[in-house]
């Protein structure tokens, strides 16, 4: 048995970090989720860059500087230990085959240059569609949340409901994700990743990742680096075959440190122990790579199929169907996101809030904000509603798209306005009491009043905060009788104040 070396230590560290980030996208516990999210909140480059560029925060800037400092000393440790998407690729490669001979390619300098330019450009013009698709963290989040959380929550809920399990009370039902286009999108991304990882190693990290590209420029000058001992090397070429990022040139016995993601496969495989990770500097510049042909387009996998925009089913012996379709002009963005401007500019659609949302009302949008903002979450009142006493999404958002908001402020923040469609409502159409909307309304913006022997809904939007409880609870099918239309800029709502009810205590019974 070989003594564990750098490769094993790195794998171990990466795995530990990976488990925490993975868990943050799976665990939907209100106390644990923010803890997990905070562990890596200041470790992901693209979210940090967005935070710093859009609303300066000192901590985020310090975090970026620390990552750069770390890179200039140790090389791209970020890619090997702190990037969950990179680690996911390593895990996929490992699953595919224990030892893969990669056909990774050397990268021309033009590619990282373009990627860095794209990053700067996106930040400057405040349009992050490119980052949404290229940010490794958000890609990771979409896969874990879209595929794994969907699978886990659905199977948990299947078992939770089935006889034996709940009699033993082993499994509790959990709020997770329904099967949606995110599942297909995530699966397709995962499939592409699996294919290319097995063939070309960390192709994404050197060809598509803006963070990797930026670090490539820094790690060119790093103090510690992987290098080949020119004298003891027997030129067998094993290291080149097992290199994930195609940064080794066996003929020249050179390693391109800017491309190296520090997986240490080479050190592990070298039969003559000629490769070392140390401060020894071999300054001989490396000739530019001779070829750079393959370019794969992740964007081919970008468009999934929207499974179910409007879910409804008719069951039982319903006597009436509502007739007026609901036309929602604006989707509702989460509390704390302030406005479309703020939210859409900063959100990279990592789905962390979607995973953590205790009620499951947050879900990836398809075209609600326009196609250029695909995947960015909105409140889906067909699924649930925003809990009155909850600000969890604002506590965990890594980019500041959802800004921290205090509980009492959130309770008076209007995300949208309710609209009542009397022509759909059973109280008017069937002349029968219902009251589901008023029942759920936490602010009494909608309340039931006496009219012609019935209890009739009356809406006062001064108090409405757009939580969507009324819309979710409204029972009419196929169209709701009350819905929330989003606001592109959140507003302040009024608080309904009522006198304390006076009660004369008697010892007597009224019967």
Interacting residues toward another protein by CB under 8 A:
157-158, 160-163, 166, 169, 172-173, 175, 315-320, 358-359, 387-390, 426, 430, 432-436, 438-444, 447-448, 455, 473, 475-477, 496, 498-501, 503, 505, 507, 509-511
Q: How far apart are CA 380 and CA 310, in angstroms?
A: 10
Q: How far apart are CA 466 and CA 477, in angstroms?
A: 21
CB of 178 to another protein, least distance (A): 13
The tokens describing 22, both together, are 């993975």
CB of 90 to another protein, least distance (A): 35
The tokens describing 388, both together, are 């009155």
The tokens describing 168, both together, are 């033993």
Q: How far apart are CA 212 and CA 262, in angstroms?
A: 12
Strands (E), 323-361: none
Residue closer to another protein by CB (options 184, 418) is: 418
**What is the 3 state secondary structure string of 85-127?**
HHHHHHHHHHHHCCCCCCCCCCCCCHHHHHHHHHHHHHHHHCC
CB of 362 to another protein, least distance (A): 13
Q: How far apart are CA 202 and CA 193, in angstroms?
A: 9
Element (H, E) at 164: helix 163-168
CB of 426 to another protein, least distance (A): 5
Residue recorded with tokens 């700067």: 120
Residue closer to another protein by CB (options 83, 357) is: 357
Cα 349 to chain centroid distance, Å, stands at 5
Residue closer to another protein by CB (options 131, 473) is: 473
CB of 406 to another protein, least distance (A): 18
Q: How far apart are CA 376 and CA 366, in angstroms?
A: 8
Residue closer to another protein by CB (options 238, 361) is: 361
CB of 118 to another protein, least distance (A): 41
Residue closer to another protein by CB (options 191, 475) is: 475
CB of 508 to another protein, least distance (A): 8
CB of 447 to another protein, least distance (A): 6
DSSP SS3 for 159: helix
Cα 197 to chain centroid distance, Å, stands at 22
Residue closer to another protein by CB (options 198, 358) is: 358
Q: How far apart are CA 425 and CA 422, in angstroms?
A: 5
Residue closer to another protein by CB (options 73, 449) is: 449
The answer to whether the peptide bond before residue 478 is cis (omega within 30 degrees of 0) is: yes
The tokens describing 495, both together, are 């608080």
Residue closer to another protein by CB (options 341, 430) is: 430
Residue closer to another protein by CB (options 181, 479) is: 479
CB of 351 to another protein, least distance (A): 20
DSSP state of 129: H
DSSP symbols for 371-399: GGGTT-EEE-TTT----TT--HHHHH-SS
Q: In sequence order, what are the beta bridge partners of 420?
A: 482
Residue closer to another protein by CB (options 190, 426) is: 426
CB of 167 to another protein, least distance (A): 9
CB of 396 to another protein, least distance (A): 17
CB of 150 to another protein, least distance (A): 16
Q: How far apart are CA 132 and CA 347, in angstroms?
A: 8
Q: How far apart are CA 116 and CA 123, in angstroms?
A: 11
Q: What do you get for the CA distance between the two ends of the chain, in Å?
A: 86
Residue closer to another protein by CB (options 283, 505) is: 505
Q: How far apart are CA 71 and CA 211, in angstroms?
A: 12
CB 139 within 8 A of CB 154: no
Residue closer to another protein by CB (options 29, 273) is: 29
CB 137 within 8 A of CB 47: yes
């Amino acid at each position: 048995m070989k003594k564990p070396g750098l490769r094993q230590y790195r794998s171990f560290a990466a795995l530990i970090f990976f488990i925490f980030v993975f868990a943050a996208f799976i665990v939907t516990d209100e106390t644990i989720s923010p803890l997990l999210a905070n562990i890596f909140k200041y470790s992901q480059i693209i979210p940090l860059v967005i935070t710093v560029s859009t609303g300066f925060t000192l901590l985020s800037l310090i975090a970026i500087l620390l990552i750069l400092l770390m890179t200039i000393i140790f090389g791209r440790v970020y890619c090997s230990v702190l990037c969950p998407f990179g680690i996911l690729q390593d895990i996929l490669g490992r699953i595919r085959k224990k030892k893969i001979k990669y056909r990774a390619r050397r990268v021309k300098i033009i590619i990282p240059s373009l990627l860095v330019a794209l990053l700067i450009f996106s930040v400057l013009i405040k349009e992050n569609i490119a980052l949404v698709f290229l940010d490794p963290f958000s890609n990771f989040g979409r896969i874990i949340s879209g595929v794994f959380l969907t699978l886990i929550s659905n199977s948990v809920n299947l078992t939770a409901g089935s006889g034996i399990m709940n009699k033993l009370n082993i499994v509790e039902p959990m709020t997770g994700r329904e099967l949606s286009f995110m599942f297909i999108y995530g699966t397709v991304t995962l499939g592409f990743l699996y294919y290319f990882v097995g063939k070309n190693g960390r192709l994404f990290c050197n060809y598509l990742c803006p963070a990797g590209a930026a670090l490539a420029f820094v790690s060119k000058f790093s103090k510690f680096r992987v290098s080949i001992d020119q004298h003891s090397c027997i030129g067998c070429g094993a290291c080149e075959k097992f290199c994930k990022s195609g940064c080794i040139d066996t003929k020249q016995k050179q390693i391109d440190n800017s491309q190296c993601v520090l997986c240490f496969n080479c050190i592990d495989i070298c039969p003559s122990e000629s490769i070392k990770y140390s401060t020894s500097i071999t300054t001989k510049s490396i000739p530019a790579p001779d070829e750079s042909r393959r370019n794969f387009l992740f964007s081919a996998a970008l468009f999934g199929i929207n499974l179910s925009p409007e879910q409804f089913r008719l069951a039982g012996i319903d006597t009436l169907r509502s007739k007026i379709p609901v036309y929602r002009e604006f989707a509702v963005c989460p509390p704390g996101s302030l406005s479309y401007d703020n939210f859409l500019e900063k959100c990279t659609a990592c789905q962390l809030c979607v995973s953590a949302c205790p009620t499951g009302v947050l879900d990836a949008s398809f075209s609600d904000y326009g196609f250029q903002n695909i995947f960015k979450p909105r409140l889906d009142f067909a699924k649930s509603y925003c809990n009155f006493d909850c600000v969890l999404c604002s506590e965990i958002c890594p980019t500041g798209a959802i800004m921290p908001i205090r509980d009492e402020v959130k309770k008076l923040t209007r995300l949208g306005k309710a609209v009542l469609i009397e022509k759909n409502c059973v109280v008017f159409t069937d002349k029968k009491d219902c009251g589901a909307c008023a029942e759920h309304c936490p602010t009494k913006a909608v309340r039931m009043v006496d009219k012609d022997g019935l209890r009739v809904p009356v809406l006062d939007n001064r108090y409405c905060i757009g939580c969507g409880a009324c819309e979710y609870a409204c029972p009419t099918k196929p169209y709701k009788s009350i819905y929330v239309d989003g606001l592109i800029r959140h507003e302040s709502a009024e608080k309904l104040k009522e006198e304390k009810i006076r009660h004369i205590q008697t010892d007597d019974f009224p019967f």
